[in-house]
Amino acid sequence: MTAPALLPLSGRRIPPLNLGPPSFPHHRATLRLSEKFILLLILSAFITLCFGAFFFLPDSSKHKRFDLGLEDVLIPHVDAGKGAKDTGVFLIHGPDEHRHREEEERLRNKIRADHEKALEEAKEKLRKSREEIRAEIQTEKSKVAQAMKIKETRVLPPVPVPQRVGVTGGDPEDTEIRKKREKIKEMMKHAWDNYRTYGWGHNELRPIARKGHSTNIFGSSQMGATIVDALDTLYIMGLHDEFMDGQRWIEDNLDFSVNSEVSVFEVNIRFIGGLLAAYYLSGEEIFKTKAVQLAEKLLPAFNTPTGIPWAMVNLKSGVGRNWGWASAGSSILAEFGTLHMEFVHLSYLTGDLTYYKKVMHIRKLLQKMERPNGLYPNYLNPRTGRWGQYHTSVGGLGDSFYEYLLKAWLMSDKTDHEARRMYDDAVEAIEKHLIKKSRGGLVFIGEWKNGHLERKMGHLACFAGGMFALGADGSRKDKAGHYLELGAEIARTCHESYDRTALKLGPESFKFDGAVEAVAVRQAEKYYILRPEVIETYWYLWRFTHDPRYRQWGWEAALAIEKYCRVSGGFSGVKDVYSLTPTHDDVQQSFFLAETLKYLYLLFSGDDLLPLDHWVFNTEAHPLPVLRLANTTLSGNPAVR
């Protein structure tokens, strides 16, 4: 019996440790209605319409009068031009009883006429042969398919593409550094070639079993998550043949009209982010077109009472829902708060403000809400607009929300002052309530849970060292030096979490409790699934300080990954970083190619490769260009203006 696929436990990187193959097959058989069953549905709909209507005919005896001063009577408002539908209410004044009766009689006659027409249509359907009904059904299906095709192939308006600065190059002058960069490139090629051989088209790879792999975040379809996620890494490494293989697969096979329920967050950061980055780097229009097609499939997730999107949406039906474990049906802060970068670029490229309005609505709603101790809880109910469980974390469930506040400001060429203000407010609250120093002098970020601070830090939270460094310039009260130092302290703590293991790879989370510091205690927290956050922070600190320790620490991590995670069929996570005889989880995560190897490659490259004053990396390490606009809400696209 196979172990069930685990639900996501984090905001930025899903899923955690996989103990076995997923409990669902890669392909779920699609149920198709026979023509006979469709006919029965049509007839039942007509019968329901005809007979059910009699229960809703107005009955003047049931209309109650209310003393509103003029003996006003409340009755349904029917628009004669739109049929018998309640579209609101209007008031009939009591003294004009004759006009009231005439209106009521007109309403009855209109409903009777509509239902008689429906009965005639039903009788006409019954007179037709099965072949005629089948032909009608096929005609309607063709019309729908044609409409979808027209929508998918619509020509996007021309927009000025931001200058492509530093998309290749970065060759280091130092021979040793150049050799290290070449080694990272070789690791990327090993990961990609084995995926190409054993998992092509599947979402991810099982490098030991040498077959495709997927998790519930991608639904039940083969959407080539690794291909889309890895494209920009291949491009900046100069692996152009591999890049072209991925481009051809996307052109021929990437289809979003599938009956598959996916994570809105993961599909946004991996697929839309990956496609947009590939477009901006290469200039190939297919990537932009596919990104827009997919984005349209995600929009139904926002159809909630508050506009806070569901965590999951079916790409075909548009039906959304939340994770069952998420605080009584709540949406997750890191998921609905990590859409801004991609959606603003979608509005810029399409001239359609819908995407921009969706994410700005979320921001406005959050600004109005009270926050305990100035902290954002990780759960928000999309039906009620109220916070769920008061749990705050800069790691899983919360992390990339804060990251995107800062990066919205950076991406707008530092003109989105509202985003910067929200970021500064949040960081001040985090520093006051969550950031502590251990007895041994290690600075860590705890989690606020059940009314107290839990002295535990997750691997996911290690990205914050890079975030503090990235946000240092422009911080309040001339505290740039303070936040750069804080980022360095977080980097040191996360390096210790690696250095105190047998494999020199960091655990999923680690404690600061008494004599235990930067060490995982529970067995379920001792795994490493090729995560990038620590290396991400090393790279940002290297860019801002050029302190050689960050390249040294990054190389230590690269050697450990090469020694303990590399297998003949790719790279695999390990289940216990404290054991010198590690057991592999047999999953090569797509983010290993998108992030871990990309950040290592950048760490050993010159600063002229993807310079930070021209590019902003989304939370999946996909670079998007800075939009140098006077107003970040508008673009050079006349349609947006």
Using H for helix, E for strand and C for coil, what is the string for 360-407? HHHHHHHHHCCCHHHCCCCEECCCCCCECCCEECCCCCCHHHHHHHHH
CA distances from 502 to 23, 532, 542, 562 (A): 32, 19, 26, 15
The DSSP element (H or E) to which 92 belongs, if any, is strand 86-92
Helical pair 533-545 and 480-499, crossing angle rounded to 10 deg: 140
Question: Can you give the pLDDT at residue 544?
Answer: 98
Domains and CATH numbers, the chain: 175-625 (1.50.10.10)
**Nearest 5°: CA angle at 426, between 420 and 430?**
140
Question: Can you give the pLDDT at residue 40?
Answer: 54
CA 555 – CA 177 distance, rounded (Å): 10
The per-residue pLDDT for range 18-64, each reduced to its tens digit, is 434 333 333 333 334 444 455 555 555 555 554 444 434 443 333 33
By the 8 A CB rule, do 399 and 445 touch?
Answer: no
Catalytic, 607? Answer: no
Helical pair 417-433 and 399-411, crossing angle rounded to 10 deg: 150
CA distances from 184 to 177, 264, 344, 400 (A): 11, 31, 32, 26
Taking the model in full, what pTM does it have?
0.79
For the chain, which ranges sit under pLDDT 50?
1-11, 13-36, 50-95, 150, 630-641
Choose among 186, 313, 200, 190: nearest CA to 250: 200
Q: What single-letter DSSP state applies at residue 566?
A: E
Question: Can you give the pLDDT at residue 402?
Answer: 98
Q: Which phi and psi (to 5°) does residue 597 adopt?
A: -70, -30
Please name the residues in contact with 444: beta carbons below 8 A apart, sequence gap of 6 or more: 435, 436, 437, 438, 455, 457, 490, 493, 512, 518
Residue 566 CB neighbours (<10 A) = 15
Torsion over CA of 438, 440, 442 and 443, rounded to 10 degrees? 30
- Per annotation, catalytic residue among 232, 342, 508, 536: 508
Strand, coil or helix: 225:
helix
Tokens of 263: 């994570």
Can you spell out the DSSP letters for 6-54?
PPP--SSS------SS-SS-SSPPPP---HHHHHHHHHHHHHHHHHHHG
CA 570 – CA 453 distance, rounded (Å): 40
- Per annotation, catalytic residue among 229, 399, 416, 525: 399
- Per annotation, catalytic residue among 352, 533, 586, 595: 533
Helical pair 175-198 and 548-564, crossing angle rounded to 10 deg: 30
CA distances from 32 to 36, 38, 405, 545, 546 (A): 11, 10, 45, 60, 60
**Nearest 5°: CA angle at 205, between 204 and 210?**
160
The DSSP element (H or E) to which 226 belongs, if any, is helix 225-236
Residue 384 CB neighbours (<10 A) = 13
CA 439 – CA 486 distance, rounded (Å): 17
By the 8 A CB rule, do 225 and 590 touch?
Answer: yes
Name the amino acid, one letter, at 509: S
Q: Where are the beta strands (DSSP E) in 404-546?
A: 435-437, 443-445, 447-449, 452-454, 456-458, 509-513, 516-519
Question: Considering just the CA atoms, what is the radius of gyration of the chain in Å?
Answer: 28
CA 405 – CA 397 distance, rounded (Å): 15
**Nearest 5°: CA angle at 578, between 572 and 579?**
70
Question: Can you give the pLDDT at residue 10?
Answer: 41
Q: Which residues lie across from 513 on neighbouring strands?
A: 516
Q: Where are the alpha helices (DSSP H) in 95-209?
A: 97-127, 130-152, 175-198
Strand, coil or helix: 103:
helix
**Nearest 5°: CA angle at 162, between 157 and 166?**
145
CA 462 – CA 460 distance, rounded (Å): 5
Whether residue 619 is annotated as binding a ligand: the answer is yes
Question: Can you give the pLDDT at residue 638?
Answer: 41
Helical pair 130-152 and 35-53, crossing angle rounded to 10 deg: 90
Catalytic, 556? Answer: no
Q: Where are the beta strands (DSSP E) in 574-625?
A: 615-617, 623-625
Q: Which phi and psi (to 5°) does residue 416 adopt?
A: -85, 80
Q: Report whether the peptide linkage leading into residue 372 is cis, meaning its omega lies within 30 degrees of zero.
A: no
Q: Which residues lie across from 437 on neighbouring strands?
A: 443
Please name the residues in contact with 397: beta carbons below 8 A apart, sequence gap of 6 or more: 10, 11, 332, 333, 334, 378, 379, 391
By the 8 A CB rule, do 609 and 602 touch?
Answer: yes
Catalytic, 266? Answer: yes
CA 215 – CA 206 distance, rounded (Å): 12
CA 227 – CA 381 distance, rounded (Å): 34
